[in-house]
Amino acid sequence: MDKPLSFAEENYLKHIFALSEGTEDTVNTSALAKQIKIASSSVTDMLKRLGEKELIDYEKYQGVRLTSSGKRVAVNIIRKHRLWEVFLVEKLQFSWDEVHEIAEQLEHIRSPKLTTRLYEYLGRPKFDPHGDPIPDENGDFPETRRQILSEFKVGDSVSILGVNDDSPEFLQYLKQENIGLGSTLHIDKILAHDKSMQLSDANNKIIMLSNISCQHIFCKRL
C-alpha cells in the first residue's frame, strides 16, 4: 500500500520545511499551527500520523524535524510550486502577486514526468518570479546568494525582489519612497564618501538610499 500522500500531508511537510530553514532547531507545534492557520490540536493529530509514516521525527512535547524522506517530499512540493509560478508568469503573463495562490493548487499535481517536462519547457529556471531558488531534480537548491542592491553598479537597472529586513519601519520607509516588490530602479550614481545610491524610478523620480538600506533590498538586474 504505497498510497500517495494527501494534500494535507504534503502541506504540513512543506510548512515544516519552511519553518526549519535557517535554524537547526526543531519546529514546534504552535508555530506550525499559526503558519498553517489551523488549531494546534489538529496539528498534534497530523504530527502523530506523519511520525508513523516516518516522514518526520516526532516525540510528544519535543517538537518535530523532517526525516530525509520527509524532506524529499517537501522539496519536491516546493520545486513544483516554484516551477508553476515561473510558468504562470513567463508563459501566461500573470503578475508576481497573482501566482502564489494558484501554485498552491498546482504544486500537488502528481506526475514526475510533467514536472520534468515543465522544467525543460521553462528552460531549467533557477529562481521563481519572487527570486526564490528552485531545487533541481535531485532536490539541490541553486546557490541562493541573492544579490542585494548595494552589490550593483552605476548604470544598472534592477527590479526589487524582496527585502532582508521586514521590520515595519523599514517597510514603511520603502513604501513612502514608493518602492515595492516589482519596482524598477535605475542606479544613477553612487556617492564615494558613504556609498549611498542615487536612483531613479519608473517616473524618473530621484530616490536616495543609504548603503545600509541598500543592503536590505534584494534585486535582480533587468
- The site for a second copy (CB under 8 A) is made up of 88, 91-94, 98, 101-102, 105-106, 109-111, 113-114, 117-118, 121
Output 91 or 220, the one with its CB closest to a second copy: 91
Nearest distance, CB of residue 117 and a second copy, angstroms: 4
How many other CB atoms are found less than 10 A from the CB of residue 157? 14
Nearest distance, CB of residue 39 and DNA, angstroms: 3
Which option in Mn ion, DNA, a second copy, none does residue 117 bind, with CB closer than 5 to 8 A by kind? a second copy
Taking every pair of C-alpha atoms in the chain, what is the biggest distance, in angstroms? Answer: 67
How many other CB atoms are found less than 10 A from the CB of residue 168? 7
CA-closest candidate to residue 54, choices 9, 96, 94, 11: 9
| 182 φ, ψ (degrees, to nearest 5) | 90, -15
Which residues of the shown chain bind DNA in the complex (CB under 7 A)?
Answer: 6-9, 28-31, 38-49, 60-63
Nearest distance, CB of residue 116 and a second copy, angstroms: 9
Which residues of the shown chain bind Mn ion in the complex (CB under 5 A)?
Answer: 11, 100, 104
Exposure b/e, 83-104, CB count within 10 A at least 16 = b: bbbbbbbeeeebebeebeebbe
Nearest distance, CB of residue 42 and DNA, angstroms: 3
Output 47 or 83, the one with its CB closest to a second copy: 83
